[in-house]
């Protein structure tokens, strides 16, 4: 039986180690009739992969292939598959079964790199509806960044938030979700304020179109800067990736009838130590976000094509250096995305 390379989570006493191994290569001639075999070329990492690796949320992932986000080229298709052919360039869907419409809790049983094997392997087989076409202007490597971070930013701001031209958006930090949020918001004609712990990263954000920047380390009460920038009105949308440690400043930054997309846990899973009353007083819409469905992924890719959005990749690691790639993401030095070249 031919085999191909894959990485696996291996349980240790307190967390998981990353271990390289082999998987049986799927036989192209024996695919299930609605399945598609893809040669994975690149994988991108998300903070969520650190959560699994460091066991921050108590998830059981022992033996699983890590990473939700991968892109590659179709090698073979089952006999009933209509929409793909060998040679097509595709990216996988974070939730392979969430095709459209509202989120159903059953999707949590089928998340890549969590309950299902992820993409850190040379070959992946999934149902034909679990893949989307890569925007034509993007390299496959670039498209590996789309399934989680980009779709989360799009689903937050556009699908659920109804972002309109001329509105204001607050983006926290310069990680994967946040830089996509900046790029999308600028292409939609919004004005963007972004925070970071690093002035050099803020400079880079300005070169991507950020209208205003705030260093959240030197300005711990950063909502005051946001408030001044909006001339005492507040922002229309907050891309809230911080969680309990940033929510107070986010609530102080949002406008009346504004929108907070609650996305992340960069400051942990605990409870915020602040009153939630500003949400009521400001008539805020609070949207809990967990990535997004496939039809919004397709819509986003069309928008990216029309507006020539190119993902910002900070650094590319080789398939041999996966633990270094995880450690680099954990160090927080990156701006945008960290990618692993699989093939």
Ligand X SMILES: NC(=O)c1ccc[n+]([C@@H]2O[C@H](COP(=O)([O-])OP(=O)(O)OC[C@H]3O[C@@H](n4cnc5c(N)ncnc54)[C@H](OP(=O)(O)O)[C@@H]3O)[C@@H](O)[C@H]2O)c1
Kindly list the residues in this chain that would bind ligand X in the complex (CB under 6 A).
Answer: 46-48, 148-149, 152, 172-178, 195-198, 201, 216, 241-242, 245-246, 263-267, 289-291, 329, 332
Task: Decide whether 86 or 288 has the Cβ nearer to ligand X.
Answer: 288
Distance CA(314)–CA(284), nearest Å, equals 34
Distance CA(312)–CA(297), nearest Å, equals 18
Tell me the closest approach of the beta carbon of residue 152 to ligand X, in angstroms: 4
Tell me the closest approach of the beta carbon of residue 200 to ligand X, in angstroms: 10
116: DSSP letter: B
Task: Decide whether 40 or 148 has the Cβ nearer to ligand X.
Answer: 148
Task: Decide whether 48 or 64 has the Cβ nearer to ligand X.
Answer: 48
Tell me the closest approach of the beta carbon of residue 272 to ligand X, in angstroms: 13
- Name the one residue in this structure whose structure tokens are 């937050």: 156
Distance CA(339)–CA(314), nearest Å, equals 8
Tell me the closest approach of the beta carbon of residue 187 to ligand X, in angstroms: 19
Phi, psi of 152, rounded to the nearest 5 degrees: -60, -45
Burial zone of 103 (CB within 10 Å; 0-12 exposed, 13-18 middle, 19+ buried): middle
Spell out the alpha helix ranges (H) of the chain: 47-53, 140-143, 151-154, 176-187, 199-207, 223-229, 247-253, 277-281, 294-306, 322-331
Instruction: Report how far Cα 158 is from the mean position of its chain's Cα atoms.
Output: 15
Tell me the closest approach of the beta carbon of residue 47 to ligand X, in angstroms: 3
Tell me the closest approach of the beta carbon of residue 343 to ligand X, in angstroms: 23
Task: Decide whether 122 or 159 has the Cβ nearer to ligand X.
Answer: 159
- Shortest CA distance to 190 belongs to which of 230, 217, 225? 230
Whose CB is nearest to ligand X? 175
Task: Decide whether 7 or 94 has the Cβ nearer to ligand X.
Answer: 94
User: CA gyration radius for the chain?
Assistant: 20
Tell me the closest approach of the beta carbon of residue 231 to ligand X, in angstroms: 23
Strand 16-24 vs strand 3-11: parallel, antiparallel, or unpaired? antiparallel
- 158 CB-near residues (< 8 Å, 6+ apart): 184, 188, 300, 303
Tell me the closest approach of the beta carbon of residue 80 to ligand X, in angstroms: 32
Task: Decide whether 146 or 263 has the Cβ nearer to ligand X.
Answer: 263
Q: Which residues of 291-330 are buried (b: 16+ CB within 10 A; e: fewer)?
A: bbbbebbebbbebbeeeebebbbbbbbebeebeebbebbb
Tell me the closest approach of the beta carbon of residue 278 to ligand X, in angstroms: 18
Burial zone of 219 (CB within 10 Å; 0-12 exposed, 13-18 middle, 19+ buried): middle
Token pair of 42 as six digits: 């690149």
Task: Decide whether 76 or 148 has the Cβ nearer to ligand X.
Answer: 148
Task: Decide whether 15 or 281 has the Cβ nearer to ligand X.
Answer: 15
Task: Decide whether 4 or 115 has the Cβ nearer to ligand X.
Answer: 115
């Amino acid at each position: 039986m031919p085999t191909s390379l894959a990485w696996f989570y291996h349980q240790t006493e307190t967390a998981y180690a990353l271990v390289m191994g082999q998987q049986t290569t799927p036989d192209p001639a024996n695919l299930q009739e609605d399945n598609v075999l893809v040669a994975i070329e690149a994988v991108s990492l998300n903070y969520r992969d650190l959560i699994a690796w460091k066991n921050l949320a108590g998830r059981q992932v022992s033996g699983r292939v890590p990473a939700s986000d991968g892109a590659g080229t179709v090698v073979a298709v089952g006999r009933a598959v209509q929409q793909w052919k060998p040679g097509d360039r595709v990216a996988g869907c974070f939730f392979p079964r969430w095709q459209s419409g509202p989120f159903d809790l059953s999707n949590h049983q089928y998340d890549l790199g969590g309950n299902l094997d992820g993409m850190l392997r040379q070959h992946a087989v999934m149902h034909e509806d679990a893949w989307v076409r890569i925007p034509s202007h993007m390299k496959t490597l670039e498209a590996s960044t789309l399934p989680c971070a980009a779709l989360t930013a799009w689903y937050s701001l556009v699908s659920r938030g109804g972002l309109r031209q001329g509105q204001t958006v607050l983006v926290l930090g310069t990680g994967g979700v946040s830089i996509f949020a900046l790029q999308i918001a600028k292409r939609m004609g919004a004005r963007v304020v972004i925070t970071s712990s690093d002035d050099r990263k803020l400079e880079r954000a300005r070169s991507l179109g950020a209208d205003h920047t705030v260093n959240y380390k030197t300005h711990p009460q950063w909502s005051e800067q946001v408030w001044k920038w909006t001339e005492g009105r507040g922002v229309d949308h907050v891309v809230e990736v911080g969680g309990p440690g940033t929510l107070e400043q986010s609530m102080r930054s949002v406008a009346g009838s504004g929108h907070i997309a609650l996305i992340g846990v960069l400051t942990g899973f605990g409870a915020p130590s602040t009153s939630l009353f500003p949400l009521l007083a400001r008539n805020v819409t609070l949207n809990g976000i967990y990535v997004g469905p496939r039809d919004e992924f397709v819509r986003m890719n069309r928008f990216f094509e029309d507006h020539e959005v190119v993902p910002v990749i900070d650094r590319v690691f080789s398939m041999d250096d996966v633990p270094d790639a995880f450690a680099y993401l954990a160090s927080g030095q990156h701006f945008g995305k960290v990618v692993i070249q699989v093939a």
